[in-house]
Amino acid sequence: MHYIFIFLLFISISTAQINYKTIQLPKTIEETSGLEYFGDYLLTHNDSGDKPTLYVFSDTGKMVQAIRIYGIKNKDWEDITSDSDHYYVSDTGNNVGTRENLTVYILSKELIPQGKIKIKYEAQTTFSRDPRTPYDAEAIASVGDQLVLFSKNRKTFQSQIYRFPKTEGTYNLTPEAVLETESLITAADYNEAHDLVALTGYTYKGEQFFYTLTDFVKNGMDQIQLKKYLIPIGKAQVEAVKIIDDRTFWVSSESEQDGIPKLYQLELEP
């Protein structure tokens, strides 16, 4: 018999102010769902409903290029992350828990497909429709030689943390920790220089939240330091995040509130 230990991690609510500026994005990326750097530009994608396409745009919101990726599918792309050698596109959207083809696509730095990582949730035994499924995930980050997936749990409004290798294969996932986020987590990023994870999430009331997990690798899964901030942008749906430094971040939101997708530069006050 073996035992799986899951650490339940609570949050501290920060009273620090978030300052931000808003940049309108082209309507082509109305469901912007991931953010990464691509040279001097930013890279994003839409989620379900679009072709397998990555969009390059400037930090002023100007579209630079749309790059169609052939040989892979966009069932429900929800996030993108990278390391020095590859990009990883997370086709892991699973809104009602029916998917059995959850995939992370490995792309070269030139955005050429290099392989597939298939994932399954060890605890999921049925795939019948469940609008409150705990087996959805929209947030992925590259951390060392692993990918870290943060769940979007509609049943508990927590977020389970899963880890798996960056190499091709099929992996059965079990959670290593549970974050008491009290929201639906939609995006993640990790910065090695600051050992920092950033997350975004929202509630059904339209509240948008930003989270930092400091000393993520140093502390390990049992001592994660999680802080929660309210993003004061009103009703929106924040879906992507990219760390600039330990106090400034890019965040993008879908267009569903007013028809215009947006890029925000957030700054945390000391």
Q: What is the pLDDT of residues 111-121, one digit of tens each?
A: 999 999 999 99
**What is this structure's pTM?**
0.94
> Which H or E element spans position 22?
strand 18-24
Q: Are 16 and 228 in contact (CB under 8 A)?
A: no
Residues in the chain: 270
**Residue-wise pLDDT tens digits, 217-264:** 999 998 888 999 999 998 788 999 999 999 999 999 997 667 899 999
Q: How far is CA 193 from CA 146, 214, 246, in A?
A: 16, 11, 9
pLDDT band at 94 (very low <50, low <70, confident <90, very high): very high
- Is the Cα torsion angle 164, 184, 248, 16 positive or negative in sign? negative
CA distance 23 to 21: 7
